Structure 1
Amino acid sequence: MFENLSNKLNTAMRTLKGKGRITDVNVAATVKEIRRALMDADVNYKVAKEITDRIKDEAMGQKIVIAVDPGQMLVKIVHDELVKLMGSQVQGINLKSEPSVILIAGLQGSGKTTFSGKLAQYLKKSGRNVLLVACDIYRPAAIDQLKVLGEQVEVEVYSEPENKNAVQIAQNALEYARKMGKKVIIVDTAGRLAVDEAMMNEIAAVKEAIKPSETLFVVDSMTGQDAVNTAKAFNDRLNFDGVVLTKLDGDARGGAALSIRHVVEKPIKFISTGEKMDALDQFYPDRMASRILGMGDVLSLVERAQNAFDEEEAERINKKIRQNQFSFEDFYSQLQQIKKMGNIKDLMGMIPGMGQAIKDVDISNDSFTPIEAIIQSMTPKERQKPELLDMSRKKRIAAGSGTSVQQINNLLKQFEEMRKMMRMMNRVQDGKMKLPNFPKR
């Protein structure tokens, strides 16, 4: 997510690392590199110039504290300016009316239908009764796609396959939702080009007919500067309420997406980071700025863990750890919980300092596959008692899992080290093991 921008900004700010003080010369050189990094990442030129001018003015006006070196101070200044660029405060969606109507708009292929399904699940988790509405009457199989997504998230989909009037479908869906007691309606519309007058007139007519409480513009973060121009054209016609950035898990320069907030003066409300239905996050400007600068995003990591982990299962595992009974069966269960949290590389990037460390490392969710295959090839008794695994059993498991005996030995070693660490932590928690007394300063 914004990997190229992150790398280039960190490279630019190395100019000041280790410097004793800020001067006109070293600040000018650093700010020039920051501006180049922003523009290389597809940030609008005017936006890049404006933000770097503010960074320069702020840096030259700082009285550097002795304990903070100029490089650290500049990181904070750049962080604060990125937060301002992206909107300062988190912005939720308006769900005050009943039923609340959310209109989804955007270009063809921007990910509107997938986002509609994700948003339906996101709102359903908060206890709202949601209805998805299929108003894309042009794209082949668009209605079928929405129905498939509706089944995945267990949300009803309203459609009229034979009706080719998007305005009428939306109005009928609103009437149906009121009759059925639906609290939120998400209207998925056809992708359209801003230059297509007829299509723009149609979505404007849909908006006028159903008067949505929220209109969201969905934009593919990989489309570059065209995304900014398109957002402006859509906003001029629809006056939308917020922006949704999709495909942030791709190899995107990402800067254009950051420019949208500044150009159309509308907040970014959601970001989508994968194909899975739970790969949707509310947009927090301060957290995103921290991630871009390689400072991590612990709060989002904790929130994902809270959403993914079942409390009863967590308590059961904790009890087994305390009783020194943690098994491969439990380990496998924990792997499945972790996978629910999203892309592994994205998760690791949320840990402070890890973003730069793994920038050139290819980490896939498939990394767990050999481990899962080994555990699944064990008998229930072997999972509970790994010490039973002699050479004969290891060869059988290796053949069944498509791995090698060496891989099994490595897994057993790592698993035993993990169990030792768990035992040590339990002894500390129970007060049976005293930590060393360090001299007071």
Structure 2
Amino acid sequence: MFRALRSRNYKLFFVGQGISLIGTWMQQVALSWLVYRLTDSVFLLGAVTFSSQIPSFLLGPFAGVLADKFNRHKVLLLTQTLSMVQAFTLAALVLTDTIEIWHVLALSAFLGTINGFDIATRQAFVVELVEKREDMSNAIALNSSMFNMARLAGPPIAGLLIAAVGEGVCILINAVSYLAVLGSLLLMRLKPFEQVQQQRKVWESLKDGFRYAFGFPPIRALIVIVALLSLFGMPFTVLLPVFARDILHGGANTLGYLMGASGLGALSGALFLAQRKSVEGLGKVIIYTMLLFGCALIAFSFSEVFTLSLLLMLFSGFGMIVTMASCNTLLQTIVDDDKRGRVMSLYATAFMGMAPIGSMLAGSVAEQVGVGYTLAGCGFLCAISVIPFAMNRPKLRQMVQPIYERLGIVPQIASGLQSASNLSSTPSEGRGD
């Protein structure tokens, strides 16, 4: 289950990112609670998420060109340093009680711009850290595990700290946590960077990446399914403060427990993927977990019982992360190395870029019809959006099979990868994110 940790550089990455991600989740909970406490507006909750994630939608494809052209290690050192500066600035404003909603929107947009370059670069960088190619799928699954271990620990801690000392301390802890990931990056022993001489300009490279990704149905299908899940499913995190305070009649600790339960389910899903020896069967897994996620959201939207809501959050977390990580694994397996950065930037654009649009739509609709009906609609759309993927899975499997034969992957894994990857070709981790 942990074989990718045999690679020293990946082990450093895993530990540094794991510590830093706990801070990231603490800041996310603190910021959501702060905005809702200051404004009592569901729309503004969506607006903050929109401002933090829309830059990924706009910049993601260009970030992929950057990730293929420049030293990914140095790019990550820069993005993580800038993220730390953003967190310290936000913490200072909150702790001095001078924070206003425009500060939150502006700093969220700044962080979103940084993440637009960070996510695609980090996704492509992981491949450089794993010494054995057959350990790559395990590394991707462990990335999801790391992301969700932090998601399990961070929100409950944040909820307790907010109740005790306020939101500012949570954001300050996140700022300090960046030192862990910067330290891990500096301790890595990497091969000298060799810049690939590309005759094409940025725009030509970008168009080439789009043609490659959307011209090959399996890659296109995976990106589409991630985009749909992000558009219809991710807004549930925006609405959670409203459920915690107004429907379950709790406080910041209730929000922390709900997000922690979702994190526990997601961690279970990531470990489920990590113990798999190949990608065989991942196509079917995507179908089942997308349906599970949608149904769990529908049931959660009608729940007024805290324990039942926690259980449903657990199922939703499991379904969401297994779907996302399975798509990531299959993409990383079938994509050509020289286009990996651009394809993973499109994955990041689908994942992070569609979420803000969904958040704004969900916030606007919730103001009109209520959060319960809004979330139920989101769950229903998630469940039905996997139908085209399920119908086209056999064709996609046939298209992917030759790739694994060409890669010469270990026989037992190859057959699994073929069927799984074909499966994976259906429509569809930040720091993991």
Establish whether TM, by shorter chain, passes 0.5. no
Larger relative contact order (Cα-Cα within 8 Å, sequence gap ≥ 6): 2
* Structure ranking higher in strand proportion: 1
TM-score by length of 2: 0.23
* Structure ranking higher in helix proportion: 2
TM-score by length of 1: 0.23
